[in-house]
Amino acid sequence: MAKKKTKFMCQDCGYESAKWMGKCPGCGQWNTMTEEIVDTKRGRKQTFVTASQTVAKPQSITSIQTIQEPRIDTENREFNRVLGGGIVPGSLVLIGGDPGIGKSTLLLQVSAQLAKKLKVLYISGEESVKQTKLRADRLGVSADELYVHAETDLDYISKAIDEQNPSFVIIDSIQTVYHPEVTSAPGSVSQVRECTSEFMRIAKTKGIAIFIVGHVTKEGSIAGPRLLEHMVDAVLYFEGERHHTYRILRAVKNRFGSTNEMGIFEMKEKGLEEVLNPSEIFLEERSEGAAGSVVVASMEGTRPVLVEIQALISPTSFGNPRRMATGLDHNRVSLLMAVLEKRMGMLLQNQDAYLKVAGGVKLDEPAIDLAVAISIASSFRDRASKPTDVVFGEIGLTGEIRRVSRAEQRVHEAQKLGFKRVILPDKNLGGWTVPSGIEVIGVSTVREALEQTLGGS
């Protein structure tokens, strides 16, 4: 009897090795190599082109005619915004998030909305049909064209898709689906790769929009090989604290739209409800007159969002001061503190710094630099800025305030929420009309910004 051949494969990056290793040479992770059986029967098929077959030839890009295919409206404006305006037929979308964050709830609600006009097939590999029905009853969703199927075998799933011929398919989740010809366990690198390849073939050949739910690792990234994110058309992350009611749907890859869009939902008893004005939500619990609190106008894709940045500066009791940031880049905070220390003469090297973006939002654009610097200076001097001020601007290493994009939209959002004054880069002044009822002040250096907000040194 022939001896079975085995190989060891990293479950994070897909690196293959003939022997077991504690540390993966590909990604550097420990204890991720698992043994898998090599199927020698599955060889690579050779294809020969006959005279009767037509071979596609290279074409000039100017001669290719395109047809703008309409997107599928989900009746959920936040979901449509993240996808770039709706669902593209024939697209393959991967959505990941922490366990219990609401991925299945969101997709079941979207499925019920789409089932009013299209046929939808919901494949559940983690719940039975009755359990899915109980969840649908709890959410109050129901539609005749919404079909539910509990299956994990890829062959039976493909057969169900052929028989039903839906316009929209949900796979919940990809880690539970297995290819019968692959010998490794469900959820392994080989299984995830083969199953995703098959779903991609179905989506492209039949024009079916397929959503795949993916589990995440303890670091927060989607489990499985990195190749999984390269294969799909869009990657969405569903974020939020389990102890808070607000959830954020963020696109990190999108071939059909912007990757900076963000959709905000609120988890309620009847499921997820979209939040159309997130700025009011993030600022509703703000305490006025507190030192270290500054409101910044940030852009999330095409939408301006006003959020509160909080800073707490206190003398350190250790040799090395602590630098902690929640929702902000830690290295960016250290850089801005160095600018304040060098250009403004603030002695921050013996101070602990704790910074946070209220509401659980993550900000990564350069336009938040000025708000971070002012919040640090406000807490350090124990002097509060005006509660009706909004600031934004990028800070250079020499202390200058640099131009940012979409200043007009940021100012209009501040005016709509009742703020009276906006501190922004002076290079952004001009070329647009300032709305009535709000004062716009341009600054060119950090020193000028601190004088306007905190009243001098």
The structure's pTM equals 0.75
Residue 61 resides in a domain: no
pLDDT tens per residue across span 322-375: 999 999 999 999 999 999 999 999 999 899 999 999 877 888 899 999 999 999
Q: Residue 248: give its domain's CATH number.
A: 3.40.50.300
The share of the chain scoring above pLDDT 90, in percent, equals 52
What CATH number does residue 415 fall under? 3.30.230.10
Domain check: are 93 and 207 in the same one?
Answer: yes
Q: 101 a known binding residue?
A: yes
Instruction: Write out the two tokens for 455.
Output: 């009243």
* Whether residue 338 is found in the same domain as residue 421: yes
For residue 11, what are the domain limits? Answer: 6-37
**Within a domain: 52:** no
Q: Is 99 known to sit in a ligand binding site? A: yes
> Is 366 marked within a binding site?
no
10 and 129 fall within a common domain: no
Residues 264, 400: one domain? no
**Distances, alpha carbon 297 to alpha carbons 21, 54, 372, 397, 404, in Å:** 49, 56, 12, 22, 11
Q: Binding residue per annotation — 52?
A: no
Establish if 309 belongs to a structural domain. Answer: yes
330-341 residue pLDDT tens = 999 999 999 999
Question: Is 7 annotated as belonging to a binding site?
Answer: no
Mark whether 220 and 315 lie in a shared domain: no
Are 178 and 286 part of one and the same domain?
no
* Residue 319, domain member (yes or no): yes
Given 241, 275, 309, which residue is the final one in a domain?
275
Tell me, yes or no, whether 216 lies in a domain.
Answer: yes
Cβ contact 282:307 at 8 Å: yes
Enter the tokens of residue 76.
């959920």
* Mean pLDDT along residues 201-229: 81
22 is in an annotated binding site: no
The chain-wide mean pLDDT, for the chain, equals 87
Residue 269 and residue 285 share a domain = no
Say whether 158 counts as a known binding-site residue.
no
Residues 11 and 123 occupy one common structural domain? no
Question: Is beta strand 271-274 parallel, antiparallel or unpaired with respect to 293-300?
Answer: unpaired
97 a known binding residue? yes
Quick one: 15 and 151 in the same domain?
Answer: no
Quick one: 264 and 374 in the same domain? no
Residues 255 and 118 reside in one and the same domain: yes
Distances (CA, A) of 386 to 19, 309, 346, 408: 64, 14, 21, 21
Residue 271 near residue 139 (C-beta atoms within 8 A): yes
d(CA 375, CA 381): 10
367 and 440 co-located in one domain? yes
* Number of structural domains found in the chain: 3
* Mean pLDDT within 371-398: 94
